[in-house]
Structure 1
């Protein structure tokens, strides 16, 4: 399913859904951040996605991480809640979603980087190299909040 992201865009369509999602900002022992390149947008992002009924937000973050990157991680902290009404994602099926993400911090405990139907690239990126990557502003904010220690983010 294709998607178009709108970020502080005055022509963004009006949201018609609000779906809880979780992200996992995984940091290895060398301080590198795990990023995936999304097949649907081509941008680099933290692993994450919609929460399923029957799982907690933290369980969702761990599941999405292993599904999207091949890396099994455990949650070590809470980064924050990101619920920006000016971040809209429009899907080709007519769903227009307002951002609502619980973001967690984690560390890798197993697995190997693996591309899949959602991500065509998986990389460990050191903070000094982040500017070389096309990262959506909402993901950049989450990474920046972690790197500057400005968390938990509650909005």
Structure 2
């Protein structure tokens, strides 16, 4: 059988063409004959909450006609996108937090309201607590997305 394999993550040059034995299905498995297959090398949608150099790498991975949706810049700087990027690569870019979410007074009014609500004890932060001795379990839970809000290790 002919096979195209990606043996190391990276550019399309990492794909190799190989001859290999026909696969044999195991118990409860099915062998399907494939006559043609496609691979999408580039992304069609990027949700960018990081910005900076990583946001730019994600933008560069977009396929023609792709969409880049920004919703933050955890890196400290937003992703640099030029008009030339949009035109030459035939992509669109938009900011996910629309004008209805941002008060007329801007972010400072929203910040002031949040601090007032917190001071009045109207806000309850989401916290997942673990005993300090279970730090490894806390790390696993974070990796498996089984936590809510901040994770706190408590010396008990």
Q: TM-score range by the shorter chain?
A: under 0.3
Q: Taking structure 1 as the reference length, what is the TM-score of the superposition?
A: 0.21
If asked which structure has higher relative contact order (CA below 8 Å, sep 6+), I would say: 1
Greater helix share, 1 or 2?
A: 2
Structure showing greater Rg: 2
User: TM-score, structure 2 length as denominator?
Assistant: 0.21
Structure having the higher strand fraction is 1
